[in-house]
């Protein structure tokens, strides 16, 4: 029996699984998959407050093996009084399904499960289909996908190809497929001075002009012109903090935070060296702490992305653009094991008050995933 994607999405949303809590989401998902013939395994990691629930489910035992990766954890709702409808009520109004996780990404998880149910109703299993669903994507991502992948490798479950169901489309379904993501590097810059009275500036050492000059050098630096699949590397200053509440005091120190999203011209190591080089040339004493968040990665256009593009066009009539923009995702872990692409719903309302998904888009997304299975196992 084929599942209804809207019913699945609503039931998942009704589980208030704010990361890292599960609140029954993976239990419900496993029940639906087991009814389809999947063998489901809970692969939890961490203890106490760090405990993260994860689910691996597989049907079939041979190649070709396609894996769908996603998450059922969601970000906090924010002020519930600002929502038009209770965040976990999964309310539908005028063809729009409201709820935390509707777009990011319970709707996509439901769409894939619905697509599998429809595919299996009409086709014998010719290879393997699996799902890697974590409860740790919106959190620190330490006890989720990265550890489940190691478990999969140890137990002979590494797929031939993978889809991550993150919402990839800015405006309409079929607009973009992610074939990679930029790397991310965070920085905290501190410049020390000497506190003093503004009227006796010769007795003080103002760190702020120095901080501004360093930030200006970083902000103006052109790291590269981009590459074949990536836009230019970009640095954004995210915070400047002095902690000075007085108008007549020169601060003792100034602090700034920045983030760099970088392409495949760089690694965290080479980019860190470049940042230190730029700051050092300014000639001031400084303290700089750099924290790598993710490396850039790419699954170059080939047979797997061709399958996804054809499936999207067959259902929507749209030829998707292959992009690498946006934030990081768990695809950064999966690319170390097999070719991975990302495709899901609309990302316009993710993490926002009144997060929502168009009901028809969810139905079409399920059809796209089913078409992917048809083409992959053809």
Count Cβ atoms below 10 Å from residue 74 Cβ, excluding itself. Answer: 30
Q: How far apart are the C-alpha atoms of 66 and 372, rounded to whole Å? A: 10
Closest CA to 72 of 49, 89, 55: 55
Closest CA to 89 of 76, 71, 102, 79: 102
Q: How far apart are the C-alpha atoms of 177 and 168, rounded to whole Å? A: 6
- DSSP at 4: P
State phi, psi for 48 to the nearest 5 degrees.
60, -130
Residue 154 among the catalytic residues: no
Closest CA to 157 of 296, 301, 43: 43
Residue 355 among the catalytic residues: no
The residue from 22, 44, 136, 137 that is catalytic is 137
Q: How far apart are the C-alpha atoms of 87 and 104, rounded to whole Å? A: 13
The residue from 22, 73, 136, 166 that is catalytic is 73
Q: How far apart are the C-alpha atoms of 187 and 131, rounded to whole Å? A: 35
Q: How far apart are the C-alpha atoms of 278 and 281, rounded to whole Å? A: 5
Query: Residues 237, 241, 247, CA angle at the centre, nearest 5°?
Result: 135
Q: How far apart are the C-alpha atoms of 26 and 31, rounded to whole Å? A: 9
The residue assigned the tokens 């990839």 is: 168
By DSSP bridging, strand 176-178 and strand 54-59 are unpaired
Closest CA to 227 of 327, 296, 329: 296
Count Cβ atoms below 10 Å from residue 21 Cβ, excluding itself. Answer: 16
Query: Residues 207, 208, 213, CA angle at the centre, nearest 5°?
Result: 105
Helix H segments across 184-327?
208-220, 268-281, 303-316
Closest CA to 375 of 331, 312, 321, 319: 312
Residues annotated as catalytic (active site), given as ranges = 73, 137
């Amino acid at each position: 029996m084929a599942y209804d994607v809207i019913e699945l999405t609503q039931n998942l949303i009704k589980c208030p699984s704010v990361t890292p809590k599960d609140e029954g989401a993976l239990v419900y998902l496993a029940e639906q998959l087991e009814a389809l013939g999947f063998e489901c395994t809970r692969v939890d990691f961490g203890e106490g407050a760090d405990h993260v629930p994860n689910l691996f489910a597989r049907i079939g035992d041979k190649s070709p093996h396609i894996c769908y990766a996603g998450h059922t954890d969601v970000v906090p709702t924010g002020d519930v009084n600002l929502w038009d409808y209770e965040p976990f009520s999964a309310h539908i109004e005028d063809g729009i399904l409201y709820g935390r996780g509707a777009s990011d990404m319970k709707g996509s998880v439901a769409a894939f499960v619905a697509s599998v149910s429809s595919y299996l109703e009409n086709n014998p299993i010719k290879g393997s289909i699996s799902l890697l669903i974590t409860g740790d994507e919106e959190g620190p991502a330490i006890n989720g996908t990265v550890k489940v992948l190691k478990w999969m490798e140890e137990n002979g479950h590494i797929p031939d190809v993978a889809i991550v169901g993150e919402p990839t489309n800015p405006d309409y379904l079929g607009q973009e497929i992610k074939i990679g993501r930029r790397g991310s590097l965070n920085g905290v810059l501190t410049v020390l001075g000497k506190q003093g009275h503004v009227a006796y500036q010769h007795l003080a050492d103002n760190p702020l002009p120095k901080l501004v000059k360093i930030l200006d050098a970083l902000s103006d630096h052109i790291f590269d012109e981009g590459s074949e699949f990536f836009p230019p590397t970009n640095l954004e200053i995210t915070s400047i903090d002095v902690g000075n509440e007085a108008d007549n005091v020169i601060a003792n120190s100034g602090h700034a935070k920045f983030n760099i999203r970088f392409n495949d011209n760089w690694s965290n190591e080479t980019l860190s060296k470049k940042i230190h080089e730029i700051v050092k040339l300014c000639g001031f004493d400084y303290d700089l702490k750099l924290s790598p968040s993710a490396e850039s990665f790419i699954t170059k256009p080939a047979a797997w992305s061709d399958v996804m593009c054809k499936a999207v066009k067959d259902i929507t009539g749209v030829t998707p653009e292959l992009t690498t923009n946006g934030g990081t995702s768990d695809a950064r872990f999966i690319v170390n094991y097999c070719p991975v692409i990302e495709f899901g719903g609309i990302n316009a309302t993710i993490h926002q008050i009144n997060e929502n998904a168009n009901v028809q888009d969810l139905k079409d997304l399920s059809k796209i995933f089913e078409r992917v299975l048809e083409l992959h196992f053809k």
